[in-house]
Amino acid sequence: MGTATTSFISDLKERFTPYTEWIGDIKNPDLIKADVMAGLTVALVLIPQSMAYADLAGLPAYAGLYASFLPAIIAALFGSSRQLATGPVAVVSLMTASTLGSLGITDTATFVAYAGMLALMVGLFQLSLGLLRLGVLVDFLSHPVVVGFTNAAAIIIASSQVSKLFGIPTEKGDHHYETMWNLITSLAETHLTTLLMAAFALFLLIYVKKINPQLPNVLVAVVITTLLSWFLGYGNMGGAIVGEIPEGLPSLTVPSIDFVHFKDLAVAAVIIALLGFVEAISVAKAIAAETKQRLSANQELVGQGLANLSSGAFGGYPISGSFSRSAVNFTAGGRTGYSSIVTGLLVAITLLFLTPLLYHLPQATLAAVIVMAVVNLIKFEPIKHAWKVEPHDGIVAVVVFVVTLFFAPHLEMGIMAGVLLSLGLFLYRTMSPKFVEVARHEDGTLRNAELFNLKTSDTVSIYRFDGDLYFANSGYLEGKMLNSIAAKPKSKVIILDLESVDQIDATGEETLARILDRLVSADMKFYVARGRKPVLDAFKRSGLYDKIGEKHFFRERTNAAKYAKKALGDAIDIEPILKPIHTA
């Protein structure tokens, strides 16, 4: 068996057995107790929250429970984070609703099937990235893109629940702002009983958290409003309730879809996979920084991918790691993935025995739960901070925010606009790197001659190019260098400092070759100083190294100037390179 094959098998084994790093720790009774309590605490939040998020996704409440059973367990077993709590989350639920809503599906069973297929596609993409070690692709969703999108999504999510808080059947428009206008014009039809129940649920969520943050305020609100709904006959009074939830665990199904919709689902699946993973890995990194545990982005992709595959195969929909529930898990003392296994098992117990108790749960309560959950996602300070650090990043965040709000429910437009704008602005910033002529400074170093008012030689010029040399800026280098030479009619020697050039592409190499030809035809000498190994290797592969000449490459700029002096004698002046001379 070859070395490559052995390495592949070893890597594959490691990818599918990460739980071996902590499974032995649960022999400790204290650790088991801590994980059980943490798992119970998370379950008390997850069970009502998962039903609310399923409703946000346009799915029956039971789909949220199905997505919280096996996925929570599998993500814990195959991910690298020991405290990451996986299951339904607000932004991914909104993306699911947006994707499936655009397909015009009205039948509930078909909607559920398409949600399952979307989860399978998300899972397959994430798993593939993890196994191929391509987690770096997630970096295309830069922080400003995520911040802008998250703020807009939180506003869309919160506003989408207003109709359920007021008990108003609202006509949906092509854009979210049209739907909101339809809602405003329908406020006169507010169902007072629903509004009172929603207000009471919001009061409980806020008040319980205020008096005792340790109490599961979501569970308290769900229990009290459900009992109140049953006692008052809330459903018979016109209030919307969850209704019957199928008893028992989900069965294995292979959802089928119309192939016409495959492309739309595939594009959405890629965006959901990347966005969901950004949320998961962000909270996992934050917790790992506290626990000092090893975290692997590629391994986490495997865990999230398998979790989404299980969700899609067992009646759920796309899921991700949750900020809030992971924080609850960590704060409650969760030490290993066993706490998430406990959470998943408690969801299973709920599906088997407790679903009848949820029949009278008001939909207004679930809407209140969603509103309270996403309010904390609205944070404009990171956008202001990004603007202070780099105005271009601030522009990206604002554009993503505005585009996402304007084009909702077509949320992918905001993400795509952000990615394209980020790449465009990056190219713009790197198209004009700093190009300066240097001379000797009083501190003994070669510095920017113009900035420090230093005299330069009329015959020998040392130019420093600060940036990688590639297709977008090679023309800039050529123009700057030739213009600088033209301004020095007595110029005999050009020394190009490439210390800051880490990479060069074919266009950059061709540009240097063209500059060399121009200099040779003008009877001028061309030297390269402080070139890095990857750049010099590229020169050797292309033949440019031999064309320039091996003796024309130097480790120090001063050595290049001295070599030129020895070759040309009194025809050149290198004094400004050897000692500081200020201009008058």
DSSP secondary structure string, 399-410? Answer: HHHHHHHHHTT-
**Tens-digit pLDDT profile for residues 198-223:** 999 999 999 998 999 888 888 899 99
Instruction: List the alpha helices (DSSP H) in 431-530.
Output: 474-486, 506-521
Same domain for 322 and 457? no
Distance between CA 109 and CA 100 in Å, rounded? Answer: 13
- Domain presence at residue 80: yes
pLDDT at 27: 81
Has residue 314 got a pLDDT over 60?
A: yes
Least confident of 406-410, 500-504, 539-543: 406-410
Domain termination residue (choose one: 369, 388, 422): 422
Same domain for 117 and 259? yes
**Tens-digit pLDDT profile for residues 377-389:** 888 999 999 999 9
Q: Could you tell me the residue range of the domain that residue 511 belongs to?
A: 434-578
CATH, residue 559: 3.30.750.24
Least confident of 9-18, 47-56, 170-179: 9-18
DSSP 21: G
Looking at the chain, the whole-number percentage of residues with pLDDT higher than 70 is 97
Has residue 468 got a pLDDT over 90?
A: yes
- Domain presence at residue 2: no
Same domain for 354 and 295? yes
Residue 523: burial class (beta carbons within 10 Å; 0-12, 13-18, 19+): exposed
Same domain for 42 and 90? yes
- Domain presence at residue 198: yes
- Domain presence at residue 583: no
Distance between CA 179 and CA 172 in Å, rounded? Answer: 5
**Tens-digit pLDDT profile for residues 475-487:** 999 999 999 999 9
- Domain presence at residue 376: yes
Find out whether 251 and 395 touch, Cβ atoms under 8 Å: no
Same domain for 448 and 410? no
Same domain for 116 and 149? yes
Q: How many residues does the chain have?
A: 584
Distance between CA 275 and CA 150 in Å, rounded? Answer: 10
DSSP 191: -
Domain termination residue (choose one: 390, 422, 454): 422
- Domain presence at residue 112: yes
Same domain for 77 and 222? yes
Distance of CA 103 to CAs 308, 373, 403, 489, 505, Å? 21, 27, 21, 68, 43
Same domain for 396 and 533? no
Has residue 173 got a pLDDT over 80?
A: no
Least confident of 51-60, 285-294, 447-456: 285-294
* Tokens read off for 451: 């900035």
pLDDT at 484: 92
pLDDT at 213: 85
Instruction: Count other Cβ atoms within 10 Å, centred on residue 430.
Output: 14
Same domain for 481 and 395? no
Domain termination residue (choose one: 392, 422, 452): 422
Same domain for 482 and 386? no
How high does pLDDT run on average in the chain? 91
CA proximity to 198, closest of 377, 375, 372, 376: 372
CA 148, 149, 150, 151 torsion-angle sign: positive
Same domain for 80 and 203? yes
288's CB contacts (< 8 A; 6+ apart) are 81, 294, 295
* Tokens read off for 301: 């992709």
pLDDT at 289: 80
- How many domains does the chain fold into? 2
Same domain for 147 and 272? yes
Has residue 57 got a pLDDT over 80?
A: yes
- Domain presence at residue 428: no
pLDDT at 371: 92
- Domain presence at residue 365: yes
DSSP secondary structure string, 521-532? Answer: HTT-EEEEES--
**Tens-digit pLDDT profile for residues 85-103:** 999 999 999 999 999 988 8
Find out whether 94 and 101 touch, Cβ atoms under 8 Å: no
Has residue 5 got a pLDDT over 80?
A: no
